[in-house]
Structure 1
Amino acid sequence: MIERVTVVGAGLVGQGWAIAFARAGVPVTVHDVTDLDRIRENIARSVQGLAAEGLCEDPQGLLGRLSFEADLGKAVRDADYIQESVFERIETKRAISLEIDRAMRPDAIVGSSTSGFPGSSFTAECSHRNRFLVVHPVNPPHLIPLVEIVPAPWIDEDIPQTVRRFMEAIGQSPINLSREIDGFVLNRLQGALLDEAFALLGEGYATAEDIDKAVRDGLGFRWAFMGPFETIDLNAPEGLKDYAERLAPMYARFAEQRKPDRRWTAEAIETAHWQRRELLASESLRTRQEWRDRMLARMKAFKSQNKL
């Protein structure tokens, strides 16, 4: 049973995890090597934002379940579950996994927030490697509930389901992968869309803003409450197979038009960057991120109220 949690690495993702755990009533220890007072203030500000949107009835109670510890050994020694969320660099992931491995209880579970590295690429040398797995959230995890659970080949077979039940209990929306693959599910889907978006921009078919609009005001309207398979299942009179019989040849033509060497070219990246800067100055990025989080909070509240 998971009753005490430690978050190792309290950047934006780690802070979101701490809020998600504590909001569900779980005591959380937060560890980071940087300024813990600043991290505490950032979390408090995010929690007040949740309260303003009706997503946290007891902000002081939530904050009261958080403790902060600069010493990694002390932070993890009593934890049932440890969520590692340090910087996304393989050497950093490997080093922190070994540190956690030396200090953790043998029966604890360690989930990594890595966005694309298979767990086996940085936990192979851990003596408790059978207790480590990828538990990848979407940023920020206290507002976007999806969690990808990805086992390494040597994981104890009961652990992925234990983590899934825990994530469901705290209000997240977990999915289980059967085995490792770079990027998991979400980032591979996102990557395919980004590949096409950069190609369309780089080849001059549309601007970055119009491509964003195609997703924001088109695909995204449905994707906010249904996935691609349900979307096409509902877009033909007889369901998914009917849709495929009608439109699979069209999608096959699209696939044939894609060059095998299509990449995010430097020119397309530069074009997208400056088109974005024309719409949003660099110094306004933080303000826009805060706006995004408010919109996500309202979306989360709406979906919760409507059981979506």
Structure 2
Amino acid sequence: MNLPKANLDRPVAVIGAGLVGAGWAIAFARAGLDVRIYDANPRTAENALPWAATQLEALHRHGLIDEAPATIAARLTLADSLAQAIDGAAYVQESVLERIDVKRQLLLDLDAVADARVIIGSSSSGIKASDFACDLRISPRVLIAHPVNPPYLVPVVELVPSTQTSAETVAFTDALMRGIGQSVVRVRKEIEGFVLNRLQAALLREAWALQRDGIASCEDIDKTVRDGLGWRWSFMGPFETIDLNAPGGVADYAARLGPLYHSIARSRTNDGPWDDELIARVERDRRQHLCADELAARRDWRDERLMAFAAERAKHAADS
């Protein structure tokens, strides 16, 4: 798969080298960018490089990269400090723990050492940038750039500015993300969870409730998405799906089924949080199909399937 070059003459930095951060590092390096990786935990940082090398070999095996894996891996280097990681960098991808206090402290640290040019994107899954990135010297150059994990396989990225993010920052990050092959979603207003996780939250809310109420098992609920909804959702979104599912299009669909969906939504208005008893039930249900000690192997299986899917989608990209 040939990705457009990001056209940067300066490196990018990835702060936080867990699965999301290391995945971002692959996405940037694959597009031809030099990447510096820093994590406050040296062991996490050291593990990122061999893990990335393994993933690059798999990408090459599936025909998703044209360059030799070793050539791409050579663009990844570890930095000994935050200052070293961002020195002269054009862009920083923050991928630290999903906690306001942790992200705020990192932004304070970045504010102390960042130059006047660097743009900072946060991988926050649902915390708004305005909750941790405002009233700093760098605030106009900070926004959310939320990926799906793993970002080098699932291309969508949500760009969400804070109340203090400049339009130039959004434009730069949009161009960068498109340049490395991501599919950019512009979120117009800040909202908890952004778009992707709010959509996922609605589905998860119903999935947990169906299991709780004894309607269906975890496996049958998964099967409904995997072997039903997911087939269409793999190449079209919910609005296009319903637009094609009624003779007269989306308005016709709304007239036919809108009352049903409204009734379903009203039936769940009193749902509370997932409690310990429900979590234990779902855990027991899931462990019947996947033992806890098989989770890592199943993640590897997932990534292999995503690679095969990405390769197939690339063949038909012109048709979408």
Report if TM-score (shorter chain) is over 0.5.
Answer: yes
- Look up the match of 1:158: 168
Cα deviation for residue 125 of structure 1 reads 4.2
Is 1:12 matched up with 2:19?
A: yes
- Look up the match of 2:304: 294
- Look up the match of 2:75: 65
Say which SS state the counterpart of residue 82 (structure 1) adopts.
strand
Determine if contact 1:199/1:263 at 8 Å carries over to the other structure. no
Determine if contact 2:134/2:164 at 8 Å carries over to the other structure. no
Cα deviation for residue 303 of structure 1 reads 0.9
- Look up the match of 1:174: 184
Cα distance in 2, alignment partners of residues 267 and 210 from structure 1 = 20
C-alpha deviations, 1:107-130, integer Å up to 9, x for none? 110000010100011112422111
Map residues 46-85 of structure 1 onto 2, 5 A cutoff: 46-58=55-67, 59-85=69-95
Cα distance in 1, alignment partners of residues 132 and 291 from structure 2 = 37
| Greater Cα shift, 152-161 or 6-15 | 152-161
Say which SS state the counterpart of residue 114 (structure 1) adopts.
coil
- Misfit runs of 4+, over 3 Å: none
| Greater Cα shift, 158-167 or 170-179 | 158-167
Is 1:145 matched up with 2:168?
A: no
C-alpha deviations, 1:15-51, integer Å up to 9, x for none? 1100000101111111112223322111111111111
So what's the TM-score if we normalise by structure 2? 0.93
Cα distance in 1, alignment partners of residues 46 and 213 from structure 2 = 48
- Look up the match of 2:144: 134
Cα distance in 2, alignment partners of residues 42 and 67 from structure 1 = 13
- Look up the match of 2:200: 190
Please report the RMSD computed on the Cα atoms of aligned residues, expressed in angstroms. 1.3
Cα deviation for residue 133 of structure 1 reads 0.6
Determine if contact 2:13/2:89 at 8 Å carries over to the other structure. yes
Q: Which letter does structure 2 place at the counterpart of 1:283?
A: D
Cα deviation for residue 68 of structure 1 reads 1.2
- Look up the match of 2:4: none
Say which SS state the counterpart of residue 212 (structure 1) adopts.
helix
2:209 to 191, 199, 205: 199
Determine if contact 2:90/2:119 at 8 Å carries over to the other structure. yes
Cα deviation for residue 151 of structure 1 reads 0.3
1:115 to 111, 125, 133: 125
Structure 1: runs of 5+ lacking an equivalent: none
Q: Which letter does structure 2 place at the counterpart of 1:55?
A: L
Determine if contact 1:202/1:265 at 8 Å carries over to the other structure. no
Cα distance in 1, alignment partners of residues 288 and 141 from structure 2 = 47
Cα distance in 1, alignment partners of residues 192 and 266 from structure 2 = 24
2:268 to 258, 273, 288: 258
Say which SS state the counterpart of residue 167 (structure 2) adopts.
coil
- Look up the match of 1:275: 285
Cα distance in 1, alignment partners of residues 115 and 301 from structure 2 = 40
Determine if contact 2:144/2:159 at 8 Å carries over to the other structure. yes
- Look up the match of 1:219: 229
Cα distance in 2, alignment partners of residues 265 and 223 from structure 1 = 30
Is 1:87 matched up with 2:97?
A: yes
| Greater Cα shift, 286-295 or 154-163 | 154-163
Cα distance in 2, alignment partners of residues 259 and 122 from structure 1 = 31
Is 1:43 matched up with 2:52?
A: yes
Determine if contact 2:16/2:38 at 8 Å carries over to the other structure. yes
Q: Which letter does structure 1 place at the counterpart of 2:34?
A: P
Cα distance in 1, alignment partners of residues 95 and 135 from structure 2 = 19
Q: Which letter does structure 2 place at the counterpart of 1:164?
A: D
So what's the TM-score if we normalise by structure 1? 0.97
Say which SS state the counterpart of residue 247 (structure 2) adopts.
coil
Cα distance in 2, alignment partners of residues 71 and 224 from structure 1 = 40
Q: Which letter does structure 2 place at the counterpart of 1:270?
A: A
Cα distance in 2, alignment partners of residues 104 and 279 from structure 1 = 48
- Look up the match of 2:258: 248
Map residues 90-109 of structure 1 onto 2, 5 A cutoff: 90-109=100-119
Cα distance in 1, alignment partners of residues 222 and 278 from structure 2 = 15
Q: Which letter does structure 2 place at the counterpart of 1:56?
A: I
